[in-house]
Amino acid sequence: MKKLLSIMLAFLVVLNAFPLVSAQTSELSFEEIEVEGTSVVLNDEVMSVAVVKDLTDNRETTLPIRVRLSSVKEFKDLKVSAWVGGYEFGVPRDTSDPFDMTPYNTQVVKTVVLNVPLPKDLESSKEYKLNIEAFNNEISIKKEIKLNVEGKRHFIDLFDVVVNPGLKVDAGTPLIVKARLENLGDRVEDNVKVTAKANLMDKEGHSFTVSDSDFIDELVPRSEEKGDDESSTSTDDLLLIIPKNTKQGNYKLFVEVNFNRGTETVSAEYDLTINGKESASSDGSILISSSEASKNTPKGTQVVYPVQIANLGNEARTFTFETTGVKGWATSSVEPAILTVAPGSTSELFVTVTAAQEATTGSHIFALKVLDNNEVVKEVNLQGQVVSVAQSTTSDFRKGLEMAFLVLLALLIILGVVVAIRKATMKSETEENKGETYY
């Protein structure tokens, strides 16, 4: 009977709490919510869908929200927060500063303005939710509103730009620029032109421009990606040849994307510093570099080193190649064996290295030499980190055995505990049965 009374008392307490919460929330309500100047909530009722109208600029933008709160009771330290649900890479949100609401007669109305940051890659084909909440430590009221993104017919995003060797270089050093683009619009974009350029000045004070361009045949919208169709891609290397007589100073590097039949452009600019000294090299018209100059090279396995070569001269150059420093630990080959590079352009070759089974474990330095008419004009150092496949496999196998042993040991311990508990229980039940007397 005592347990039954306790349950009934708890039920009455919970039941009495519901009217209290309902009364409290009715004392604070959303009189109106406007999104980009359009009322979507009126008198605490959702009236329409919120619409994002302007995401056509190649920059982050904000969604203006105006919230009118109505209260018949005093509330301290209220906040209003708005956020977008359904976005893949985070939760765009804005929250107001704390404020008080104090009715002077029977009611008080407070207006709060929020600006929710909107990522430029919101998709028009995806459904989002706009959430509005007013709250403090005592109360919380919420509204969830469907948020539609107005379709963007043509919208190319300059997603990323990579500059090699960097934005601070010596005079005479070429810049290799690679841009990555993404189609955030609703239409397929054809013949997208990407240009990298810099306006420079020589030591005599004459201005000049260096530039290079690339065309991307097609970019499909993200919603239409199928098979080999891509909504994002990278340009070929854009080569900017910085002359040796370029005046030392700070300049601007511009990357421009032209699309929609040449009617729309997005661009980015970067600070470029040219040092006054000339770049030292055996042949200043040739640049050679490797994006992967060091690699793990397991014994008996071949790895490939991509190497980029740029011809900064005014005539085509034909090169042959030679590797040194691999004897005794590996064999090597170069593909193609003969490479012709047009003036003002870059090409790529591949160095294949196969580490011998008896190679010494550790670091091995070797060189790729670039020859023109059997004369070395440039070379680049590469590195192979020889590791033992057998040791690696044995180590992994040993770790696997150790893990299996630990799992088995844990299972045996758990089984032992269960058996001990069952024995103790059975013993207790047996003793109780022995203690019972039957008449």
Where in the chain are the domains? 27-149, 156-278, 286-387
- Determine the pLDDT at residue 169: 86
Confidence of residue 124 (pLDDT cuts 50, 70, 90): confident
Confidence of residue 360 (pLDDT cuts 50, 70, 90): confident
pLDDT tens-place string over residues 1-21: 555 555 555 544 544 544 444
Q: Any idea what DSSP says for residue 11?
A: H
Q: For residues 409, 411, 417 and 423, what is the CA-based torsion angle, rounded to 10 degrees? A: -120
Average pLDDT, the chain: 80
> Which one has a higher pLDDT value, 298 or 123?
298
Confidence of residue 294 (pLDDT cuts 50, 70, 90): confident
Buried residues in 305-316 as b, exposed as e (16+ CB within 10 A): bebbbbbbeeee
- Determine the pLDDT at residue 235: 86
Which position has the token pair 């893990």?
403
- Determine the pLDDT at residue 422: 54
Residue 64: closest CA among 134, 7, 135, 112: 112
Q: Would you state the CATH architecture of domain 27-149?
A: Sandwich (2.60)
Written out in words, the top-level CATH class of the domain with range 286-387 is mainly beta
Give the pLDDT mean for 412-430: 52
Q: Per the confidence metrics, is the pTM higher than 0.85?
A: no
Contacts by residues 215-219 (CB-CB < 8 Å, ≥ 24 positions apart): 215/191, 216/181, 216/191, 216/192, 217/190, 217/191, 218/188, 218/189, 218/190, 219/156, 219/181, 219/182, 219/183, 219/188, 219/189, 219/192
Fold of 156-278: Immunoglobulin-like (2.60.40)
Topology match between the domains 156-278 and 286-387? yes
- Determine the pLDDT at residue 166: 83
> Which one has a higher pLDDT value, 219 or 423?
219
Share of the chain above pLDDT 90, in %: 33
- Determine the pLDDT at residue 409: 54
pLDDT tens-place string over residues 368-418: 999 988 888 888 888 888 887 654 444 444 545 554 455 455 545 555 544
